[in-house]
Amino acid sequence: MAGILVSGATGLVGRHVLSALLETTDEEIHALARRPLPAPFANHPRIRAYQADLSDANRLVDVLNTARPAAVIHTAAIADVDACERDHALAYAVNAEGAANMARAAVAVGAHFVHVSTDYVFDGSLEAPGPYDETATPHPVNYYGETKLEAERLVSELCANRIGLAICRTALVYGVNPAGRLNYMVGMVNELRAGRAIRAVTDQQNTPTPAASLAEMLIAAARQRATGLFHTAGGELITRYSLALALAYHFKLDPALVTPLRSAELGQLARRPLLSGLRVEKAERELGVRAWSLKQGMIWLESAMNAQQ
């Protein structure tokens, strides 16, 4: 058994895990996704690609029996919060049952399992605000958070006393993924660059996470065979309004285009945890990887976005 298998390889997080593996190791790299890999990963000589749906438990076992990875980094999920609220059955099938199927496949071959979760397992309430450490009690306020918390429970039960498990929660992940949907920060920059006004809420706080920084933490957990619960996110707590202003100033765009408002004014289908965010001290200490500052993240994002132009 050798190498690392990355599920959700066409997604934002999976893509950056693949990139980081290509840059930092000569070990075997296995990529699992529902659809063919996009450039620059398609037909890459160092990547062995597999197609499978998370609902097909037998196929997942076959893939892992063929790949024989030493570790699995499970990034695949439906992260669209409102989409999860609209379709509970699909959200549960992918986020909870799909995670369980991946964990079963990892158990079948004895691969260490790194499962990516979210700060949305918390409620972000005034009574129990973030940023949260690993001892905080989860209490999701939307169906996305419920499915991800259930996934944590299922993979914990399946892996217990069988294989090593690291659950890595993250928050507000951003970065460029030409093959995927726009994320919050890229969307804001695009709108500001086009001279269009954007709205940003003043009552939601979080710890924005560059996808490349998260990839470093996930790979460290896989390589070190880390076990337990880790909060793997960005290193700074900020409101979405302040974040939008910081982006405007960093990208030398017009901050007057940013309009503040309250979350209740957005009319979003799913509730959001308002006072969220994650504390990363444990992950930094035990995984030996420093969380990026917001400044580091914006410099990286600017470089990535400019490269796509």
**What is the DSSP annotation of 51-96?**
E--TT-HHHHHHHHHHH--SEEEE------HHHHHH-HHHHIIIII
DSSP string, 219-284: HHHHHTT--EEEE---S--EEHHHHHHHHHHHTT--GGGEEEE-GGGG--SS---SB--B--HHHH
**Angle of helix 143-159 versus helix 98-109 axis, rounded to 10:** 20
Residue 224: alpha-carbon gap to chain centroid: 20
Confidence band for 181, pLDDT divided at 50, 70 and 90:
confident
pLDDT score for 252? 98
What is the domain partition of the chain in residue ranges?
A: 4-174+210-235+276-291
**What is the structure's pLDDT at 179?**
81
Cross-strand partners of 228: 166
pTM of the model: 0.97
Residue 144 has pLDDT above 90, yes or no: yes
Q: Annotated catalytic residue: which of 144, 174, 184, 249?
A: 144
Mean pLDDT in the chain? 97
Give me the CATH topology for the region 4-174+210-235+276-291: Rossmann fold (3.40.50)
- Is 144 annotated as catalytic? yes
Is 168 a residue whose pLDDT tops 90? yes
Q: How confident is the model at residue 204 (pLDDT cuts 50, 70, 90)?
A: very high
> Which pLDDT value is given to residue 309?
73
